Structure 1
Amino acid sequence: MMKTFFRAVAVGAAITLAGCQSVSTTSSGTIGVQRQQQMVTMLSEREVNQMAAEAYRKALAKGKKDGTLNQNHKQLKQLRAIADRLVKQVGVFRMDALHWDWEVNLLTSQQLNAYCMPGGKIMFYTGILDELKLTDDEIAAIMGHEMAHALREHGREAMSHAYVQQLGFSAAAALLGAGRSVMQMADVVVNYGMTLPNSRTNEVEADLIGLELMARAGYDPHAAVTLWEKMSGAGGGSPPEFMSTHPAHNTRISGLRVNIPKVQHLGEED
């Protein structure tokens, strides 16, 4: 009973200290993503974007040092051309994203991986392009999905959850006399939040927003289905690390197929 009391007090103190607020980071678009998100007010979008940009700079510096950065100029040009078309459509979900410092780079690696950091820093690995033999439409599906995570600020949302949780642990430790301060845990929380895998809910949202982005940019939304079919067969049936926390293939593909009719006309309108 006493432990339960301390835990409740700690969590309450953490929420009060963190100053959580319910926000909607994007407009719903045609596809209709409307979930309210819980963000820690002391962890601003600007701060998260700055941290992401610094991590991205380190990845670029390492790639340059290792001789793996932007070695395939044809693929890099292809990626940047696709990104240019997708970025022109982000205002449907949030107008400020039109002015983000979007950037696309390519690392030579066998990994089947791609990501978009908070603030619009995109990285692709040659492995995902080469092994899956992706078309422009399928690349747009991946890139749109990753851009959607940035637009929805899923990284800041994960960091907010981690921050509140860690504050709860710290408050509980202080109440029990362990002497661990909240500020001492800050770096741990930030690192944990930045590397958290996305939740299933976030993955579904990224699928839907990404589907609409690619359709508005004039890419065939059916390619999102062929992409994930290819991904499901990658690695001899064992899903690549890129998909380790993603929804089951059949669930994802079914969800995409249901929503394609909602967006397939959007490119024609533009």
Structure 2
Amino acid sequence: MTILKLVSAMVLVSFLASCAESPTGRRQMLLFSDGEMSQMGGTAFDEMKQKMTINKDGPTNRYVSCIADAITGSLSSEWRGSWEVVVFEEDSANAFALPGKKIGVHTGIFQVAKNTDQLATVIGHEVGHVLAHHSAERMSVQSVASTGTQLIGVLLGEGAGKETVMGLLGLGTQYGVVLPYGRAQESEADLVGLDLMAKSGFNPEASVTLWQNMSTLSGDQPPEFMSTHPSHSSRISDLQKQLATARPIYEKAKANGIRPSCQL
């Protein structure tokens, strides 16, 4: 057997052994373990804390942590508890969550997430990316495409390619390598996050308003077929459809006394 055939066979075996299913039933290839992804996420988060200015305002941090704790507290046992939450002084309307139970929120997000339920939409969406293993999925695809590049070694050590790894984790804007999640992953995180916020006692109706605010802030978008992200209108439409599922979850949470009191 030639080396090429051997490598191809190994890749095929790895693919078959790593087939997984996302929360919405989409097939995924996952070549990295949760432990490996947590290590990468933790290392990336530590670097972000060194590179960026951390917000020290007490009320702001308590507000963000209250929402994040309510959402992560409703997760299954394997995901629940001990999430590190950091607010960064950054004007961009952004937030992120990383494997290893890390959540980062930019102060610029308050331009669009104007109340508790809207910020819960954002944090729920970002946590949804982690629950759906989207970073591991992108790492796996990149690993196969780059013929076995040692992505973990690149991130934990020094050398060319580190920016790409950070981009795959969803931190590309800070490193000049913009690798946004794909359209399917973004839509999936929207739906997972919507049900998650509703389960945590936040009003899912706010998700529509949030994306209306985002649309107003960002202005005209390119046609959806030219973008890796769903258009704001498609996003809003999909969320409105999912509200039929999310509303009963929210009402059940309220009936069970789950009503987070998070105020800024």
Q: TM-score, normalised by structure 1?
A: 0.76
Q: CA deviation at 1:117?
A: 0.8
- Richer in helix (by share): 1
Tell me, yes or no, if structure 1 residue 232 matches structure 2 residue 221: no
Residue of structure 1 aligned with 2:187, choices 192, 201, 204 = 204
1:207-222 alignment, distance < 5 Å: 207-222=190-205
Preserved contact between residue 160 and residue 193 of structure 1 (Cα < 8 Å): no
1:154–1:202: 8 Å Cα contact kept in structure 2?
yes
Q: Which amino acid aligns with 1:44?
A: S
Shift of 1:184: 9.7
CA contact under 8 A between 1:106 and 1:125: conserved in structure 2?
yes
Query: Aligned to 1:54, which of 38, 43, 47?
Result: 43
Q: Which residue of 2 aligns with 1:158?
A: 138
Give the structure, 1 or 2, with the largest relative contact order (CA under 8 Å, sep 6 or more): 1
Structure 1 unaligned blocks of 5 or more = 1-5, 171-181
Contact 1:155/1:194, CA 8 A, preserved across alignment: yes
Asked whether the equivalents of residues 18 and 164 of structure 1 are also in contact (C-alpha less than 8 Å), the reply is: no
Percent identical residues: 32
Q: Which amino acid letter does the alignment assign opposite residue 89 of structure 1? A: S
Match of 1:44 among 20, 24, 33: 33
Alignment of 1:63-82 (within 5 A): 63=52, 68-82=53-67
Count residues with an aligned counterpart.
Answer: 230
The correspondence of residues 171-182 of structure 1 with structure 2, limited to 5 A, is none
Q: 1:135 aligns with which of 115, 137, 149?
A: 115
2:106 to 114, 125, 141: 125
SS state of the match for residue 221, structure 1? coil
CA distances 1:21-63 after superposition (whole Å, capped 9, x unpaired): 11236xx5xxxx22232111xx221111111101101111233
* Runs of 5+ unmatched residues, structure 2: 155-160, 171-178, 254-264
Q: Does 1:247 align with 2:243?
A: no
Would you say the 8 A contact 1:11–1:165 is kept in 2?
A: no
1: CA distance, partners of 2:90 / 2:103: 15
Q: Does 1:103 align with 2:88?
A: no
Q: Please, what is the CA RMSD of the aligned residues? A: 2.7
Secondary structure of the residue aligned to 1:37 is strand
Q: Give the match's secondary structure for 2:8.
A: helix
Match in the other structure for 2:173: none
User: Is residue 193 from structure 1 mapped to residue 168 from structure 2 by the alignment?
Assistant: yes
Say whether 1:24 aligns with 2:4.
Answer: no
Aligned to 1:97, what secondary structure does the other structure show?
coil
Greater shift after overlay, 14-23 or 112-121? 14-23
